[in-house]
Amino acid sequence: MDGRTKTSPSCQLLHRVLTVPEQLGVGECGVTTTTEAPEQSTDPAEPGRIAGWERAGLIVLLVGTAVMYLWNITVNGMGNQFYAAAAQAGSRNWEALLFGSLDSENFITVDKPPLSQWVMGLSGRMFGFGSASMMIPQALMAVGAVALLYAAVARIGGRAAGLLAGAVLAVTPVAALMFRFNNPDAVMVLLMTAAAYGTVCALERASAKWIALAGVVLGFAFLSKMLEGLMVLPALGLAYLIAAPTPLRTRLVHLVGAATALIVSSGWYVLLTVLWPSSARPYLAGSTDNSFMNLVLGYNGFARVLGRNHPDGQGPGPGPGASAFATGQLPDAGTPATEQSAHGGFGGQTQGLPRLFTGEFGYEIAWLLPAALLAAVLVIVSRWRAPRTDLVRAGGIVFGGWLIVDGLVLSYMQGTIHPYYSLSIAPAIAGMVAIGGHEMWVRRGSWLGLVGLASLVLTAGVWAGGSLAATAAGFRNCGGRYYC
């Protein structure tokens, strides 16, 4: 039945009953009540009935991700014992759970907002505190992130592209590391991906509801790792401002509503720490005056980016690096801080654009990073003459903008920097590679599509081969250790 054909109300109802359940593989962001099909730009993703192989592919992707991440999940023991202590305290004391206290007596909190501790602490309350109760929710967050990325990319480039994006995210090394660990990064990246999905939904029909929901989700991402959780915000806002199919004034009103939703969904906790007497709650670790905003703007905010979150301005002293976290081991307390930094845990990385491509960062995130950057350029070039509301170009802005903004911040941070922070750009890389690859495949009959597709494959293959060689050399030079 052609979407533009006028039909009787009974036929319309029958059509919806028969077709909507078939679309649940991707899911409609909103139910439309009009019989007129919306205009689509060239080569749109087909939102119709999901094919059998696509349904099977999605099942394999999600089940495979769950098995891969849940398998031997307790191998890391208590993981990062700093956050494990907070999870244990939260499993025993409700006030400790609320504030993310490091101890059940509520003397001091961890140096991050408590959202991650809420998840692990509640799991410990329900199932008993232990390695499994902490780590299993983290692994399930990986499944959720893969599903949301699939759904977002499928709406832009089709379900095959969605499957590719989800698979790339699932096998990204830093994702396999941190979604099986108890740091706050897992829940932060899940929420960032959910915000991207909500924005894609909002872009289709200029939905104030969906862009507001994206704002709510980003507010909770802020409550997981503060400003790092908002690194996706500029890309989402720009994509909606440019491409939402509604007049500019309405777009601006919707974005103001989304910003308000973000402030409310994160600000309630800030207000709680202000109104709760400081003498009756734990000290907010990392702050200099026991205030949450000092922690946001100082130790975990701009001071971290500018390298001023430690007294000497040169980064922290001894502490566990990303790879040390992965084994649940801490560096030798007698090892000088400068030497530990050279090992790649807290520093020792070249500041600037090479940072994400070299050293431990390169091992964990850079496999498809050059291909993702190339894909962003190819999508913009390919869709240059498309209508303002073109969803594929908007998708390039969402995932490409996310990658560029977050990647630049990670590259030029002067303060505490761990390679595992690069998890925050893993969904952006996966989404951009899939959208760019699909766009070039669709246009493979043209010179742009043919050259672009070949360039993507060549870039990914050559860089991955070089990364494998560098990783192997690193293992040999470090006596079989991941880094030295």
Q: What is the mean pLDDT of residues 109-135?
A: 93
User: What letter represents residue 345's amino acid?
Assistant: G
pLDDT of residue 449: 93
Choice between 41 and 59, residue whose per-residue pLDDT is larger: 59
pLDDT-derived band at 365, boundaries 50, 70, 90: very high
C-beta separation of 299 from 111 below 8 A: yes
Measure the CA–CA gap between 273 and 293, rounded to whole angstroms: 10
pLDDT of residue 359: 83
pLDDT of residue 49: 62
Neighbours of 84 (CB within 10 A): 21
Nearest by Cα to 425 from 445, 442, 440, 410: 410
pLDDT of residue 285: 87
- Model confidence at 211: pLDDT above 60: yes
Measure the CA–CA gap between 119 and 22, rounded to whole angstroms: 33
CA angle 332, 306, 329 (to 5 degrees): 20
pLDDT of residue 299: 67
pLDDT of residue 213: 98
Q: Pick from 48-62, 302-316, 343-357, 417-431 the range whose average pLDDT is largest.
A: 417-431
- Model confidence at 37: pLDDT above 80: no
Residue that has been written with the tokens 């790649």 in this structure: 344
C-beta separation of 381 from 442 below 8 A: no
Q: What is the mean pLDDT of residues 47-53?
A: 67
pLDDT of residue 347: 40
- Model confidence at 320: pLDDT above 80: no
pLDDT-derived band at 114, boundaries 50, 70, 90: very high
Task: Write b or e for each residue in 23-55: b if 16 or more Cβ atoms lie within 10 A of its Cβ, otherwise e.
Answer: eebbeebeeeeebeeeeeeebbbebeebeeebe
Measure the CA–CA gap between 246 and 206, rounded to whole angstroms: 6
pLDDT-derived band at 44, boundaries 50, 70, 90: very low
Nearest by Cα to 406 from 375, 377, 358, 372: 372
Phi and psi at residue 44, to the nearest 5°: -75, 160
Copy the structure tokens of residue 225: 């790792």
- Model confidence at 120: pLDDT above 90: yes
Q: 255 to each of 238, 385, 476, how far by Cα in Å?
A: 10, 25, 52
Choice between 408 and 335, residue whose per-residue pLDDT is larger: 408
pLDDT-derived band at 68, boundaries 50, 70, 90: very high
Measure the CA–CA gap between 391 and 81, rounded to whole angstroms: 44
Choice between 312 and 426, residue whose per-residue pLDDT is larger: 426
- Model confidence at 208: pLDDT above 50: yes
> What CA dihedral angle connects 171, 175, 181 and 185, to 10 degrees?
-160
Lowest mean pLDDT among 139-148, 361-370, 428-437: 361-370
Copy the structure tokens of residue 106: 């509520």
Cα dihedral sign, 186-192-194-196 = negative
Q: What is the mean pLDDT of residues 362-387?
A: 94
Q: Classify burial at 6, counting beta carbons within 10 Å of its beta carbon; exposed 0-12, middle 13-18, buried 19 or more.
A: exposed
Nearest by Cα to 423 from 200, 235, 232, 188: 188
Q: What is the mean pLDDT of residues 429-444?
A: 96
pLDDT-derived band at 265, boundaries 50, 70, 90: very high
pLDDT of residue 315: 36
The single-letter DSSP state of residue 4 is: T
- Model confidence at 190: pLDDT above 80: yes
pLDDT of residue 19: 37
C-beta separation of 218 from 191 below 8 A: yes
Measure the CA–CA gap between 217 and 230, rounded to whole angstroms: 10
Neighbours of 18 (CB within 10 A): 10
pLDDT of residue 377: 96
- Model confidence at 274: pLDDT above 60: yes
- Model confidence at 148: pLDDT above 90: yes
pLDDT tens for residues 276-296? 998 899 999 888 888 888 887
Lowest mean pLDDT among 75-89, 146-160, 460-474: 460-474
The single-letter DSSP state of residue 283 is: B
pLDDT of residue 480: 54
Q: Which residues contact 339 (CB under 8 A, 6 or more apart)?
A: none
Nearest by Cα to 386 from 249, 236, 242, 205: 242
- Model confidence at 43: pLDDT above 80: no
C-beta separation of 313 from 305 below 8 A: no
C-beta separation of 181 from 73 below 8 A: no
pLDDT of residue 293: 83
Average pLDDT of the chain, as a whole number: 82
Cα dihedral sign, 445-385-246-258 = positive
pLDDT of residue 478: 62
pLDDT of residue 319: 34
The 3-state secondary structure of 232-271 reads: CHHHHHHHHHHHCCCCHHHHHHHHHHHHHHHHHHHHHHHH
C-beta separation of 55 from 455 below 8 A: no
Domain boundaries, the chain: 53-74+134-275+349-477
Copy the structure tokens of residue 279: 């003498």
Q: What is the mean pLDDT of residues 56-62?
A: 94
Q: What is the mean pLDDT of residues 199-225?
A: 96
Residue percentage of the chain with pLDDT more than 90 = 64
pLDDT tens for residues 236-248? 999 999 999 999 9
Q: What is the mean pLDDT of residues 209-238?
A: 95
